[in-house]
Structure 1
Amino acid sequence: MTTMQDASLLLFGILSRRIPSAARSWLERVERVTGTGAGLGGTPDARKSESSTWFDLDRFLATFTAAVRVLGRGQLGLHPDERDALEAAGVAAVVDGRALDELGRVTMLVHVSRRLPAPELESLFRVCYEQGDGRERQALLRALPLLTEAQSFVPLAVEACRTNELPIFEAIACENPYPAAYFPDLNFNQMVLKAMFMGVALARIIGLDRRRSGELARMAEDFASERRAAGRSIPADIGLLSLDHERERATRIPE
């Protein structure tokens, strides 16, 4: 079984192979502000339960913000072997198709999550989210499934689903295994309905098949009825939420 630490090592390896030579000093700063001075791939210098007097919030935020200036927004372009390794670790969706600055920020967040005690980590994420720009918020939401004690961040993730900014909503709802793994039924169902409202393809919601339920199907029917009454179009993929769709798929004979 691949651990969260294994996944973090994969992310760091991909980042190291792509970071511009001029950005090496930024990578050294990352090591310092995340408390992994022996190298991001190394073992943490202290247990999460121990004192975090080493942590400097202002320096972390400055390094986090600088990622886009230092790394740029170029797409990663994963190699086949990298994609295979990430898929085996169950985190390919977090990285595939993303930009280099997002990978840098995700890597920072994953590694600092291995060092900070839970209350301080939650406080850090709240500050990063509330003070961050759109790209910083997207990276934070993408990092959630890779964190230690990931379930602690459900309130923040649910709050993010209330946004009307499509890129931020997509960062939590699309190609992200976190909602299906941790959201209560009500919050997951509300996210799915909002995805339809915002024109997001339901196929992009990871884990929808296993989280489909009678209540979600009922909510989808109510949504469709309201749209019809208002003379508005109904999403073409709304049938994916029907339990009949699931039964049909389960009984289909393979060709």
Structure 2
Amino acid sequence: MSFVELFDDWFATRLSEEAREWISARQERIAGGNLKELYLGFGQVSRKIPKLELGLSTAELDAAERLRPGWQPGHWSLPDTVRMRLLLGYRAESSEKFVEVLDRLFATGEVHELIALYQGLPLYPDQPMHVARAGEGIRTNMGAVFQAVAHRNPYPCEQLPEGMWNQMILKCLFVGISLIPVVGLESRNNPALTGMLRDYAHERWAARREVSPELWRCVKPEHQAEALEDLARVLREGTEVEQRAAALSLSSSRHGEAAKLIEQYPGLRAEIDAGRLTWSEPGRN
């Protein structure tokens, strides 16, 4: 099954006959290479398609995962999905032509169109060709657009070089966006990120500003032994939520001293061992 076929299955129970006919008419011309229909149709989606969530069932999410491992369209809207249906129905004669078409859509897109385009990154052909475009999404000052790249999107984890990945994680913390929905956070952890985040935490401390508890998820003593001192400080002086985050970080560390440090806090150790303390809600029982 293709992405286009899967989208059509979803639309069959979610869109009116009139809306499906509108998509079908546009798609026939787009598949024939009529780019004008693609550009016009992309802009008309907001007027033709109801502004509702896609609302996929568990079975539909499983089908999406089978088709494209790591893909998480559970938060997509109907307009987002229709835009992807139109775009992926275009049969570009080369990877370069597809990128050229994408560039035009990105250049003229309004916020909701940009969100759809960035959410679609894991579905595009020739995945490595879109790294620069993902970088543009990371640098944007539009929060919702940035989140379309950073959250529930497997593309950054799979394709971004280390430096770009690290900048994305730091930006999440800087602008106050949660790391919980970032795909591949543990697998992409690296020594440079530990150092970068430690420096950031020290700057915040020096300015007497709060440090996001989620920062400690990416700070690993096995990457920099000095991180143990930072985590020990958080356990001594931090808020309850910060202490829990530090304990979680230590519990997953491979550094030999990490286990010894967390054993000094048996209450936190017991919560972690019992599964009551996780990164999903480090501030709650």
Q: Do both proteins adopt the same fold according to a TM-score greater than 0.5, normalized to the shorter chain? A: yes
- What residue is the counterpart of 1:96 in the other structure? 74
Distance 1:238 1:209, change over 3 A: same
Report the Cα offset of residue 26 of structure 1.
1.6
8 Å CA contact 1:94, 1:142 repeated in 2 = no
SS at match of 1:193: helix
Structure scoring higher RCO (CA < 8 A, sep ≥ 6) equals: 1
AA aligned to 2:41 is T
- What residue is the counterpart of 1:249 in the other structure? 252
- What residue is the counterpart of 2:23 in the other structure? 27
- What residue is the counterpart of 1:160 in the other structure? 137
- What residue is the counterpart of 2:172 in the other structure? 195
Distance 1:24 1:89, change over 3 A: closer
- What residue is the counterpart of 1:68 in the other structure? 46
CA distance in 1, matches of 2:112, 2:69: 19
Larger radius of gyration: 2
Could you report, residue by residue, the CA deviation over 1:45-96 in whole angstroms, capped at 9, with x for unpaired residues? Answer: xxxxxxxxx4233221110111121112111221232122223334675420
Query: Of residues 186, 198, 205 in structure 2, which corresponds to 1:228?
Result: 205
Report the Cα offset of residue 218 of structure 1.
0.5
- What residue is the counterpart of 1:83 in the other structure? 61
Query: Of residues 122, 128, 146 in structure 1, which corresponds to 2:123?
Result: 146
> Are 2:151 and 1:174 aligned?
yes
CA distance in 1, matches of 2:9, 2:41: 19
Report the Cα offset of residue 232 of structure 1.
2.0
Q: Percent identity?
A: 26
CA distance in 1, matches of 2:119, 2:96: 20
SS at match of 1:228: helix
CA distance in 1, matches of 2:143, 2:42: 22
8 Å CA contact 1:106, 1:140 repeated in 2 = yes
Distance 1:99 1:132, change over 3 A: same
Report the Cα offset of residue 191 of structure 1.
0.6
Could you report, residue by residue, the CA deviation over 1:96-154 in whole angstroms, capped at 9, with x for unpaired residues? Answer: 02210001112222332x54421111111111111000000010111110111021111
AA aligned to 1:22 is E
- What residue is the counterpart of 1:45 in the other structure? none
Q: Give the root-mean-square deviation of aligned CA atoms.
A: 2.2
- What residue is the counterpart of 2:107 in the other structure? 130
CA distance in 1, matches of 2:273, 2:67: 29
Gaps of 5+ in 1: 36-53
